[in-house]
Structure 1
Amino acid sequence: MKFVAVTSCPTGIAHTYMAAEALEQAAVDSGDEMSVETQGSAGSEPLSPETIAAADAVIFAADVEVRDRERFAGKPLVQSGVKRAISGAKEMLEEAREAARTGVPAGAAAAGAGDGGAPPAPQTKVTEGAGFGSKLRQWLMTGVSYVIPFVAAGGLLIALGFALGGYEINDAPKVTEQFNWGSLQSWAALMFQIGVAAFSFLVPILSGFIAFAMADRPALVPGIVGGYIATQVPSPHAPAGFLGGLAAGLLSGAVVLLIKRWKVPRAVAGIMPVVVIPLVSTAIVGFVMFMVLGPPLGALTTALTDWLNGLSGTNRVLLGVLLGLMMGFDMGGPVNKTAYAFAVAGLTTGTETSLQIMAAVMAAGMTPPLGLALATVLRKRLFTHVEQENGKAAWVLGASFITEGAIPFAAGDPLRVIPSLMLGSATAGALSMAFGCTLRAPHGGIFVVPLIGNPFLYLLAIAIGTVVTTVSVIALKSFHRQRSEQVETAATAAATA
Structure 2
Amino acid sequence: MTSPADPRDGAAPPADPGLKLLAVTACPTGIAHTYMAAEKLTQAAQARGIAMKVETQGSIGAENVLSDNDVSAASGVIVAADKDVDLSRFGGKRVLCVGVAEGISDPDGLIDRVREAPVHPGGAASAPAGEAHSGAGTGDGSGAGSGGGSGTAATGPAGAKGRERSAGYKALMNGVSYMIPFVVVGGLLIAVSLALGGHPQADGGLVIPDGSFWKHVNDIGVIGFTLMVPILSGYIAYAIGDRPALVPGMIGGWIANTGELYDSESGAGFIGAIVTGFLAGYLVRWIKRIPVSRFVRPIMPIIVIPIVATSALGLFFIYVIGRPISWVFENLTDFLGGMTGTSAALLGVVLGLMIAFDMGGPVNKTAFLFGAGLVSKSPEVMGMCAAAIPVPPLGQGLATLLRRRFYSDQERETGLAALFMGFFGITEGAIPFAAARPATVIPANMLGGAVAGGIAGLASVGDNVPHGGPIVAVLGAVDGVAMFFAALLIGAAVTAATTVGLVTLGARRSGQDTPGTDSAEGAVRAPAAVGAGVRAVDGSGDTARGTAAARSTAA
TM-score between both structures, scaled by the size of structure 1: 0.87
How far did residue 5 of structure 1 move?
1.1
How far did residue 485 of structure 1 move?
2.5
SS of residue paired to 1:324 = helix
Q: Distance in 2 between matches of 1:266 and 1:50?
A: 34
**2:389 matched to which residue of 1?**
365
Alignment match of 2:246 (pick from 203, 212, 220): 220
**2:51 matched to which residue of 1?**
33
Alignment match of 2:237 (pick from 195, 211, 225): 211
How far did residue 121 of structure 1 move?
4.4
SS of residue paired to 2:389 = helix
**1:250 matched to which residue of 2?**
278
1:171-222 Cα distance to aligned partner (Å, 9 max, x none): 6676xxxx3xxxxxx0121111111122221221111111111111111111
Q: Distance in 2 between matches of 1:79 and 1:132?
A: 7
**2:174 matched to which residue of 1?**
142
Contact 2:356 2:449 in 1 (8 A): yes
Q: Distance in 2 between matches of 1:453 and 1:399?
A: 18
Q: Distance in 1 between matches of 2:274 and 2:312?
A: 16
How far did residue 61 of structure 1 move?
0.9
Matched, 1:165 2:198: yes
Matches within 5 A, 1:323-342: 323-342=351-370
SS of residue paired to 1:376 = helix
How far did residue 226 of structure 1 move?
0.9
Q: Percent of aligned pairs with the same residue?
A: 45
> What is the one-letter code of the residue matched to 1:141?
M
**2:298 matched to which residue of 1?**
270
> What is the one-letter code of the residue matched to 1:158?
I
- Structure 1 residues 71 and 374: alpha-carbon distance in aligned structure 2, compared to 1, 3 A threshold: same
Q: Distance in 1 between matches of 2:408 and 2:289?
A: 55
How far did residue 28 of structure 1 move?
1.5
Contact 1:235 1:294 in 2 (8 A): no
Q: Distance in 1 between matches of 2:408 and 2:123?
A: 41
1:42-79 Cα distance to aligned partner (Å, 9 max, x none): 1123222222222211111111111x432222211111
Q: Greater shift after overlay, 454-463 or 385-394? A: 385-394
Matched, 1:394 2:418: yes
Q: Distance in 1 between matches of 2:397 and 2:140?
A: 40
Contact 2:389 2:469 in 1 (8 A): no
**1:49 matched to which residue of 2?**
68
SS of residue paired to 1:467 = helix
Contact 2:357 2:363 in 1 (8 A): yes
Contact 2:174 2:236 in 1 (8 A): yes
**2:553 matched to which residue of 1?**
none
SS of residue paired to 1:266 = coil
How far did residue 305 of structure 1 move?
1.0
Q: Greater shift after overlay, 164-173 or 79-88? A: 164-173
Alignment match of 1:112 (pick from 107, 113, 125): 125
Contact 2:55 2:66 in 1 (8 A): yes
**2:495 matched to which residue of 1?**
469
SS of residue paired to 2:374 = helix
- Structure 1 residues 428 and 474: alpha-carbon distance in aligned structure 2, compared to 1, 3 A threshold: same
1:124-157 Cα distance to aligned partner (Å, 9 max, x none): 9x77559998211111111111111111111111
Contact 1:251 1:285 in 2 (8 A): yes
Contact 2:354 2:363 in 1 (8 A): yes
Q: Distance in 1 between matches of 2:370 and 2:164?
A: 22
Q: Distance in 2 between matches of 1:171 and 1:441?
A: 15
> What is the one-letter code of the residue matched to 1:430?
G
Matched, 1:77 2:95: yes
Alignment match of 2:268 (pick from 227, 235, 240): 240
SS of residue paired to 2:58 = coil
1:367-404 Cα distance to aligned partner (Å, 9 max, x none): 11111111112222333443233222211122221111
- Structure 1 residues 122 and 188: alpha-carbon distance in aligned structure 2, compared to 1, 3 A threshold: farther
- Structure 1 residues 133 and 386: alpha-carbon distance in aligned structure 2, compared to 1, 3 A threshold: closer
SS of residue paired to 2:28 = coil
> What is the one-letter code of the residue matched to 1:159?
A
**1:447 matched to which residue of 2?**
471
Greater relative contact order (Cα 8 A, min sep 6): structure 1 or 2? 2
Alignment match of 2:84 (pick from 48, 53, 65): 65
Q: Distance in 2 between matches of 1:253 and 1:170?
A: 41
Q: Distance in 2 between matches of 1:360 and 1:257?
A: 39
Contact 1:4 1:52 in 2 (8 A): yes
Contact 1:78 1:96 in 2 (8 A): yes
Q: Distance in 1 between matches of 2:337 and 2:240?
A: 35
Alignment match of 1:459 (pick from 485, 507, 520): 485
How far did residue 84 of structure 1 move?
1.1
How far did residue 158 of structure 1 move?
1.2
- Structure 1 residues 97 and 294: alpha-carbon distance in aligned structure 2, compared to 1, 3 A threshold: same
- Which consecutive unaligned segments of at least 5 residues does structure 1 have? 114-119, 180-185, 489-497
Q: Distance in 2 between matches of 1:453 and 1:80?
A: 42
**1:434 matched to which residue of 2?**
458
**1:493 matched to which residue of 2?**
none
Q: Greater shift after overlay, 35-44 or 389-398? A: 389-398
> What is the one-letter code of the residue matched to 1:58?
V
SS of residue paired to 1:267 = coil
Larger fraction in helix: 1
How far did residue 335 of structure 1 move?
0.6
Q: Distance in 2 between matches of 1:166 and 1:150?
A: 26
- Structure 1 residues 240 and 132: alpha-carbon distance in aligned structure 2, compared to 1, 3 A threshold: farther
**1:295 matched to which residue of 2?**
323
Q: Distance in 2 between matches of 1:480 and 1:439?
A: 38
**2:35 matched to which residue of 1?**
17
Q: Distance in 1 between matches of 2:62 and 2:426?
A: 21
1:322-366 Cα distance to aligned partner (Å, 9 max, x none): 01101111111111111111111112xx12xx3222222122121
> What is the one-letter code of the residue matched to 1:91?
G
Q: Distance in 1 between matches of 2:93 and 2:320?
A: 46
Q: Distance in 2 between matches of 1:236 and 1:356?
A: 23
How far did residue 225 of structure 1 move?
1.1
**2:440 matched to which residue of 1?**
416
- Structure 1 residues 96 and 211: alpha-carbon distance in aligned structure 2, compared to 1, 3 A threshold: same
- Structure 1 residues 88 and 289: alpha-carbon distance in aligned structure 2, compared to 1, 3 A threshold: same
TM-score between both structures, scaled by the size of structure 2: 0.78
- Structure 1 residues 12 and 198: alpha-carbon distance in aligned structure 2, compared to 1, 3 A threshold: same
**1:491 matched to which residue of 2?**
none
How far did residue 298 of structure 1 move?
1.4
> What is the one-letter code of the residue matched to 1:20?
A
- Which consecutive unaligned segments of at least 5 residues does structure 2 have? 1-18, 127-137, 155-162, 513-518, 521-555
**1:116 matched to which residue of 2?**
none
Q: How many residues are aligned here?
A: 461
> What is the one-letter code of the residue matched to 1:142?
N
> What is the one-letter code of the residue matched to 2:77?
V
How far did residue 445 of structure 1 move?
2.9
